[in-house]
Amino acid sequence: MPLPKSDLPQGTLDLLVLKVLALEPLHGYAIAQRLQQLSREVVRVTQGSLYPALHRLENRGLLTAEWKVSDTGREAKFYRLTRKGRTFMQEEVASWQRLTNAVGLILDAARGDAT
Amino acid sequence: VSRWRRLWQRERLLDAELRDHVERLVVDYVRDGATEEEARRRARLEFGGIDAVKDQCRDVRRTRLVDGLAQDLRYGARVLRRTPGLTVFAIASLALGIGANSAIFSLVDHVLLQSLPVRDPGRLVLLDGGAWTNPVWEQIRDRQETFSVGALAWADARFDLSQGGQTELVEGVWASGGFFDVLGVGAGLGRTFTAGDDRRGGGPDGPVAVISHAFWQRRFGGDPRAIGGSIPINGVPFTIVGITPPSFLGLTPGRSFDVAVPLATEGLVSGRRSWLDARDASMLEIMARLGPGQTVDEATQSLRQAQAQIRAATLPHGWPARMLDRYLSGPMTLVPAPGGPTSFRTRYERPLWILMAVVTLVLLIACANVAHLLLARAAGRQRELTLRLARESPGSYWWKVRCWPAWARCSACASRSGPPA
C-alpha cells in the first residue's frame, strides 16, 4: 500500500538532486527514480518540476550535462555535479542539518512540556 | 545566424531529453505487464503536457536574460537622468551628426547614385556638348528614327503662375512632344502630352500642361478635378491634362519640376522674345532612346551621317566665318545617360562627395566628443564602478567590463587623429 506522498519544502528539490548526483552522473529519468527509491517512495517528483530544476541548476553552473549512450542504446542527457555544485551542496546540506536539528530541538522541547 | 542555430539546437536537445524520459516510462510500464498502447497512454498521462514542461525549462534561461537586460537599461536611464546636461549634449551632438549625414546622403543618392525613375534608363543617351538650339532640335526630331527609337528635348525654366496680383513662381519644363513617351513615364492621372500637342500655338486641345504629383498635392490638395482646369503661365491659360506619378521628378537631378508644357508653346508664352527660332540660343538638352541591341557608337555613327545637313540648316546668323567653320565641323556624340544629363553630375560630383566626407567627419567628431565626456565621467566614477562590478551578475559584468575599454579605445584613437571641434 502506497504511503501518502509528502510535498517538498521550497528549494529542497535542488538540494536532493545535487545530493543524488554527487554519487554518479545520471539522466533525468534515473534521477527521478533514484529520489523515489532513496526516500522509500515518499518523495515523488513530477517532471514538471524536475526538468526546470535541472535546467536551472545547469544554468547556474552547479551542474554540467553531457549526451552519452545509455543502457537503452539511445543517447541520453547525463547530468554531473560541478566543483561549484559540490561546494554549494555541502553548504546547503550543512545549513539544512542545522535547521532540522533546531526544529527537532524545538519540537522535542514542546513535547516535553506537554507530557 | 549562429545565434539562431544555437537556439534551434537547444530546442532540439530539450525535446530529445524529454522524449527520452517518456520512452523510459513506457518501457517500465511494459515491463510491469502493460501493453505497449496502455503503457504509452499512462506515460503521457503521468508526464503531463510535454510542452508545458518545455516552456518552464525555457523560462529558466529567458527570465535571466530579460532580467539582466532590464536591469542594465534601468541603470542606464538612472545614470542619464542624474546628469541631464551631459545627456542633452550627447544626444544633441549625435543627433546633429546623424541628421547631417542622412540629409547629405539623400542628396548624394538622388543626384549621383540613383537612375532616373523611367523605363529602362540604361538605354537612354544624351547628345553631348551642353545645350542645343531649338532649330537643331527640330532637325534632329525630324530624323530621330534614323539613329534611335525616339528622341526628346527639354529646357528648364521658371514659370510665372501669377494671377490677380499674387506672384507665384514655379519650376517649369519646356518639353518636346515625345518627352513622356520616349522616357516611358505614364500619367498617374489623366494623360501626358504627345507630339500632337507639341505644335506652335497649341495642339487640338489648345495649350496643355502636365503637372507633377507634388505640385498637384501642394496647389490643388490632390483634387482630381484639377484635370481640365486652367493655369495661367505668364498670363497665357494652359489646360491641365494630366499628373505624373509621384516617383517622377523631371530629368534634371536635384531639381523637381512643377509644370511641364510642350516646347512649341514657348512662342505663345514668350511672344517676341521667344527662342524657338533663334539659332544662337542654346537652351535645350537632347536625349534619345537606343533601339533594341543598338550600341551607343552605332547610334552616334547614324547621327553623324545626318550631321552635316543638320548643321548646315541651322547655321547661326551673323557669326564670323571662323566660328561657322568650327560649328559645321563639330562632331555630334551620344553618351550614355542613365541618370539624366551628365553635365549636372560632373559639375556637382566632387563638391557633393566632399560634403559627404565632411559630414561623416562631423559625425566621427561628435562620437569622439561623447566618448571623451563619458571617459571623463568614468574616471570620476571609478570607485562606484568597481563596487558595482564586484557585486553585479555576470551578464552586466560582461557589458561593463567589455564596453568601457571599447569606449576608451575609440576616444583614444579619435584624439590621436585630431582635436575635437
Per-residue model confidence as pLDDT tens digits over B38-86: 888 888 887 777 788 888 888 777 665 666 677 777 777 887 788 788 8
Residue in A29, A52, A59 nearest the CB of B64: A59
The larger pLDDT score, comparing residue B88 to residue B341, is at: B88
- Answer whether A73's CB lies under 8 Å from A32's CB: no
C-alpha cell belonging to residue B53: 514542461
List C-alpha distances in Å: B113 to B117, B141, B246, B254, B319.
12, 30, 19, 12, 41
> Which pLDDT belongs to residue A10?
65
Residues of chain B in contact with residue A51, where contact means CB-CB under 8 angstroms, are: 17-18, 21, 53, 56-57
- Read off the pLDDT of each residue in B318-336 and give the average, rounded to a whole number: 81
Q: What is the DSSP string of B1-36?
A: -HHHHHHHHHHHHHHHHHHHHHHHHHHHHHHTT--H
- Nine-digit cell string for B54: 518545455
Indicate the pTM of the whole model. 0.50
Beta-bridge partners for B153: B286
Task: Provide, as residue numbers in chain B, all residues whose Cβ is less than 8 Å from the Cβ of A74.
Answer: 20, 23
Percent of chain B with pLDDT over 70: 86
Contact state of B20 with A59 under an 8 Å Cβ cutoff: no
- Strand partners of residue B171: B158
Which helix or strand (DSSP H or E) is residue B248 part of?
A: none
CA distance B254 to B116: 11
Average pLDDT over chain B reads: 81
CA distance B137 to B276: 10
B chain contacts of residue A55, beta-carbon cutoff 8 Å:
57, 60-61
Give the count of beta carbons closer than 10 Å to the beta carbon of residue B312. Answer: 11
> Under a CB-based contact definition with an 8 Å cutoff, are residues A18 and A81 in contact?
yes
Distance between CA B111 and CA B105 in Å, rounded? 10
CA B227 to each of CA B168, B170, B210, B239: distance values in angstroms, whole numbers, following the listed order: 20, 18, 9, 8
Determine which of A47, A54, A56, A66 to mutate to test the interface with B (most B C-beta atoms within 10 Å): A47
Confidence of residue A82 (pLDDT cuts 50, 70, 90): very high
Of the pLDDT bands very low, low, confident and very high (cuts 50, 70, 90), residue B361 is very high
Residue with grid cell 502630352, as numbered in its chain: B193
Provide the pLDDT for residue B243: 93
pLDDT exceeds cutoff 60 at B264: yes
Question: Rounded CA gap, B102 and B96, in Å?
Answer: 10
| Chain B residues touching chain A at CB-CB below 8 Å | 13, 16-18, 20-21, 23-25, 27, 46-48, 52-53, 56-57, 59-61, 64
Q: Which residue has the cell 537652351?
A: B283
Residue among B347, B341, B299 at smallest CA distance from B173: B341
Nearest CA in chain A to B19: A76
State mean pLDDT over A75-102.
91
Which three cell numbers mark B126?
544624351
Dihedral-angle region of residue B166 (phi above 0 means left; psi in -120 to 50 means alpha; beta otherwise): beta
ipTM: 0.80
The residue of chain B with its CA nearest to that of A31 is B21
Provide, as residue numbers in chain A, all residues whose Cβ is less than 8 Å from the Cβ of B52.
Answer: 48
Query: CB–CB of B300/B160 below 8 Å?
Result: no
- Of A51, A74, A77, nearest to B53 by CB-CB distance is A51
